[in-house]
Structure 1
Amino acid sequence: MSGHRQARSRGPVSWGIREVTLRTTPRTKRSADVWITTGTLPDAVPPHRAGWRLRLLGGFALDRDGEPVALPATAQRLVAFLAVRGASDRARTAWSMWASKPEDRASADLRTALWRLRKAAPGLLADSTGALALAAGVTVDTRSLGGRGPVDPAFLRRHAADGCPDLLPGWYDDWVLMHRELLRHRALRALEDAAGAAIRGGDPAAGLGWALEAVAADALRESGHRLVLTAMLANGNVSDALRHADLVVRLLAEQLGVRPSPQLMALIDEARSRSAVAAGRARG
């Protein structure tokens, strides 16, 4: 199914560093941000000569050699599907994209989408009579998050600077929803991994920066808050850690009705204990 619905704001939450806003997506009911032919047309441009770039994070955008390429809505969905799912036979593609329609109608819609796509963007699809796929050499931004290996730090910095945009916001096809959650999880893990590596490497300030980006992307994810507190305490910023601890306790209670986990509570207790010791020393 496809549709376009606006996310619902749940109000700002101040972290003392920047303002963030909680949003809940209508379909998933999860916290999102805190701050996806009968005839053939010849390919006019061979795939390996066309500098295709496809952006799916934050919205659909396609360009070739730096020039924007406009596609009809059905062609956009087909391109996004192949970019996210990889090579796919026609039957599977038609069923996935038009699951609510009869098989013959879904196949007809796929043929129409292919015709429109080849007319608007010749060379974007691989020249094959078998499975449908994007041409070799097409650059897709989601691939930077799609692998099992480490995420390139330069991409991660750009992704964080952009606010960790979701896959195709406003698209609610089932295949988009599944991959949106997968990519969001991988982005968060990459931010947290970068934070942890910096802290272990003796640079808690850099670790704090990565950890705050993770918290900004998902304020209800405890692992990010643990890294924030760890970095603050490692850097000797006990007062900052105490303020953040109080905010976390309030956030979890108000948004989820839960208490911090034992692991997070241990860091909160450490912040409070070190603050009490510092206050005692100040009193003499």
Structure 2
Amino acid sequence: MIWSGTCPDGGSMARLSLTLFGGFQARLEPATPVSIPTRKGQALLAYLALPLGQAHPRDQLAALLWGDLRAEPARNNVRQTLFVLRKGLAAANPVALRLDDETVALEVDVPVFERRVAEGTPDAFAEAGALYRGDLLAGLALNEAPFEEWLLGERERLRELALEALAKLLAHQRRAAPSAAAIQTAVRLLTLDPLQEATHRTLMQLYAGMGRRAAALRQYQVCSDVLERELGVEPETETKGLYQDILRRRGAPRARAESLAPGARPERLARPTAVRLSAAASETPLIGREREKASLGAALEEAWGGRSRVVALLGQAGIGKSRLIAQLAQDAVERGG
């Protein structure tokens, strides 16, 4: 039997720390790296550590990591890998990972992460989010079906816990005024699951609440792109409505003036031209073109802030370039441009 767990001895120890989120890293505290040279050695140590305190028969480990071999060669490989682990962990004394009669004091990030999520406080959620650096054992791939099945299941379970913790942390942060911390949490959530359209809306609202309207408009474009690419759908009506609301908001004149050179004024469409284009926009509805509208809306927002740029619309005749420009002009007129 091979055990992992807490050391019953209360004496001094060199504690072994395992970081399993985002890859595999082993070190003796405070900062001495431990070399586990083989992928199966890393996989075996990680498996023994999750969860701590559980006994594992050697035959089970042999089937997990050397399932394509006969029983005796597989057991020999377990024995050789354990020898490598003993050698690498020799400096840890005493231990909580008991390889037969030997032990190693073990600290693992995954159980700490799970405890923080279970605590359910905002501070605990923040710490859990910091601990979750990426998928469990990211980059560790073995051509062993039993181990891969276990690893994929654990990755999905822990990822869902991370999403739950970050979502609850974001809900707590949103109850206060919009903040950089809330924006960072929303970005983390979308990094883990970019298809959470409600989180895209939350991030747009946070950007807009902090006066970062161009960033809010760009976020809509990011949302639109990922939904079209991954699911082949457009944003929900609620998301489109939020985008239009942010697009039509007037920025503070003083803030725009301060971003310009002294005495300068932002250039706008000539009034007759704007009116003609706006009238053309009202004659026929514009269907689709969500990405293009979002991109042009972001450029218009930057222009309102005093950062001029040139945007070229390219494409074959008859695909709707003039109609798209007319819609942009209508948006500008509605904002007083």
1:240 to 205, 215, 221: 215
Cα distance change, pair 281–259 in 1 and its aligned pair in 2 (3 A): closer
Residue in structure 2 matched with residue 89 of structure 1 by the alignment: 56
Deviations 1:202-256 (A, max 9, x none): 3444312210122234433434323312423444544432331132112211233
3-state SS, counterpart of residue 49 of structure 1: coil
Distance 1:81 1:158 in 2: 19
1:169 aligns with 2:141: no
After superposition, where does 1:33-48 map in structure 2 within 5 Å? Answer: none
Matching residue of 2:169? 194
Q: Aligned pairs, how many?
A: 232
Deviations 1:161-207 (A, max 9, x none): xxx33322222341222222332332233233222210123344431
Per the normalisation by structure 1, the TM-score is 0.67
Task: List alignment gaps of at least 5 residues for structure 2.
Answer: 2-8, 142-146, 251-331
Query: Are positions 1:116 and 2:84 aligned together?
Result: yes
Query: Partners in 2 of 1:112 and 1:47 — Cα distance?
Result: 29
Question: Separation in 2 of the partners of 1:269 and 1:105?
Answer: 64
Structure 1 distance, partners of 2:200, 2:46, is 33
**Aligned in 2, Cα 1:106/1:203: closer, same or farther, shift over 3 Å?**
same
**Partners of 1:249 and 1:259 within 8 A in 2:** yes
| Residue number in structure 2 paired with 1:184 | 159
Structure of higher CA gyration radius:
2
Cross-structure match for 1:126: 97
Report what 1:249 is aligned to.
Answer: 224
Task: Select the structure that is richer in helix.
Answer: 2
Q: What whole-Å deviation, never above 9, does each CA across 1:121-180 have from its counterpart, x for those lacking one?
A: 1355534759x9x74x52212223334514452453465xxxx33322222341222222
Q: CA RMSD of the aligned region, Å? A: 3.4
Which residue matches 2:18?
54
Residue 268 of structure 1 corresponds to 240
RCO greater where, 1 or 2, for CA within 8 Å and sep 6 or more? 1
Instruction: Give the gaps of 5 or more residues in structure 1.
Output: 1-36, 38-44
8 A contact 1:47–1:126 mirrored in 2 = no
Q: Take 2:168 and 2:79, find their aligned partners in 1: how far apart are those partners?
A: 44
Residues 192 and 227 in structure 1, CA contact (< 8 A), matched pair in contact too: no
| CA separation of 1:194 and 1:249: change in aligned 2, threshold 3 A | same
Within the candidate set 58, 63, 68, 2:27 is matched to: 63
Change in 2 beyond 3 A, CA 1:68/1:92? same
Compared CA separation, residues 223 and 177, structure 1 to 2 (3 A): farther
**More displaced 10-residue stretch of structure 1: 141-150 or 113-122:** 141-150
2: distance between equivalents of 1:47 and 1:259? 62
Asked if 2 retains the 8 angstrom alpha-carbon contact of 1:57 and 1:167, the reply is yes
Deviations 1:11-51 (CA, angstroms, capped at 9, x unpaired): xxxxxxxxxxxxxxxxxxxxxxxxxx9xxxxxxx9986122
